[in-house]
Amino acid sequence: MRIDDAKLKALISGAKKAGLNAYAPYSSYEVGAAVMTDEGKIYLGCNVENASFGLSVCAERVAIQNAISNGERRITAVAVATRDKDMPKPCGACLQVIAEFADESALIVTISENGAYDVRTLADYLPRPFKLGVD
Ligand SMILES: [Zn+2]
């Protein structure tokens, strides 16, 4: 899938903005995410940690839950930004959740602290997502 520069810019700035709200007192690894729907709407999320670590949720899943709870069902791009010098990568759990609402050509945009970004597809990260009842 292709994305025009204005939409890419909006996604990147949305992910960075969302990261400012990250709740990461345990890891200090602050992450923001922005997802774009098939109609071009953008929804934001940040990571939300918990003292019971297993309850912590990644920014990507928070952004997707935000989109879904607003009635959206199709996602065409996900951007993830950190305030870390290294480029972030979505975790396996988030990739599987993205795959529930996006096809394999959906874009995954990762953004590091210095503003460098990388654009790949969901298939690059998760070529064979789990699908119930499908081989
Ligand atoms: Zn994750």
Does the pTM surpass 0.85? The reply is yes
Ligand 1 centroid, distance to 3 Cα (angstroms): 23
pLDDT digit string (tens) for 26-83?
A: 999 999 999 999 999 999 999 999 999 999 999 999 999 999 999 999 999 999 999 8
Distance CA 131, CA 120 (A): 21
The pLDDT score that the predictor gives to residue 135 is: 63
Give the closest residue to 94 by CA, choosing from 120, 61, 129, 116.
61
Ligand 1 centroid, distance to 92 Cα (angstroms): 6
Cβ atoms < 10 Å from Cβ of 12: 19
pLDDT digit string (tens) for 79-123?
A: 999 988 899 999 999 999 999 999 999 999 999 999 899 999 999
Which CATH fold would you assign to the domain 5-125? Answer: Cytidine Deaminase; domain 2 (3.40.140)
Ligand 1 centroid, distance to 107 Cα (angstroms): 16
Q: Just list the catalytic residues.
A: 60
